Amino acid sequence: MQRIKRSWQCRHCGERDSTAHFLAVQEYFTLVGTKLTNQKFRHFCGIESPFVASRLLSQLNLETTGELKMRTYKLKEID
């Protein structure tokens, strides 16, 4: 999937999905690690803009720690 105009588009079939980053973050936490930063998210999803990445991450229900460049995201604990 590639980010194009506020949506994700499949490079092969052209299918569009505005919420593909939800699944990408789940895959990151499953395959890579338990903590995510804006920079790691951009690298994992192929996003260039830190502002776009920040906006996408804010849509997710993730626990955050730190501020600005030191902010990290992780899955919320379920009670």
Question: Quick one: pLDDT at residue 48?
Answer: 94
Instruction: Give residue-wise pLDDT tens across range 27-75.
Output: 999 999 999 999 999 999 999 999 999 999 999 989 999 998 899 999 9
- What's the whole-model pTM score? 0.87
CA distance 49 to 44: 13
